[in-house]
Structure 1
Amino acid sequence: MKTTRLITTLAFAFMMLFSFNAEAQKFAGLDKSPLDLASFPNRGSDKLIKVFYSRPQLKGRTVGKEIAPYGKLWRTGANDATQIQFLTDMKFGGKSITTGAYSLFTIPGEKEWTVIISSDVDNWATRGYDESNEVARVTVPVTMGDESLEAFSMTFEATDDGAHLHMGWDKIRISVPFTK
């Protein structure tokens, strides 16, 4: 009787171990808007700025209409609000930005975009955004590129006194200046 009970207990324990192990090896599917990082400079340990954002895809939609609607606050990506980290004090739109983490919001427009740095962090989309927590905002012109970008993209380019954050989606391009 004890041997039967011991075998039953061991068999049950083995089955539980096997079932937990099988579940632990399942992975969720790939995110449809994967997380990405743009930093300046791009390589090395002397970074000044990092931007963490999710890259939504066009999938036949039109920027300014079905996605990132003109005139409305946008999280500047997908999923969580885009986070920008300053690893040194910088200037944005003539205002000093102290070292730390912030959210980066935009208000897209047909001819210009308003770019906003906010002390609101860890928000889903634009939930939790409060205009009174804006640190700085700047309006930049829209230009059109030759190539259509399926995924929303960001990259930095060095300037004499800092860097420009370039954002592009479809043929829309904007350039956002940051200075030391």
Structure 2
Amino acid sequence: MLAAPIPDNDKERLAALRAMLILDTPPEERLDKVAQFAAHEFDVPIALISLIDENRQWFKARVGLDVCETGRDVSFCAHAILQPDIFVLPDSRADERFADNPLVTGPPHVIFYAGAPLAMPSGYTIGTLCLIDHKPRQLDATELAILSSLRDLLVEELTNPAEAPHG
């Protein structure tokens, strides 16, 4: 297993993530709905909004996964945040970076992974909107476009969160 390299700008990226005051916060219905929609739209058992800090990936929203975080060293999303666009692994068992990853060889048995990097207007990528399946698969051009649009909407929501209703 090859851990993802640390981005050159990781110190600044982490500062931008911390400034958002989103890590370790309670679930938010609007973000949970994004993960639920992604799982349904792509017919995957697991969909996550994952944020990458120094040592872990923490799940702000999750469908189909009981844990709320995993180590950054085993994180697929830590690889995805290094990409300029959607990172797709049709079959992680066939990729030397992931074949012996404990998330592949054991629960949750990540075989297919697609991660759309959450690049914020600040220029820093804080995490991903990701899809996981227990079997190999591909995304076609239409599905990639839908995932990209969903990611863009999510970035907009994270950048300009809805204000709490006044009462």
Fold similarity call, TM over 0.5: no
Structure with the greater alpha carbon radius of gyration: 1
Normalized per residue, which structure has more strand?
A: 1
TM-score class normalised by the smaller sequence: under 0.3
What is the TM-score of this pair, normalised by structure 1?
0.26
Higher relative contact order (CA 8 A, sep 6+): 2
TM-score of the superposed pair, with normalisation by structure 2 = 0.28
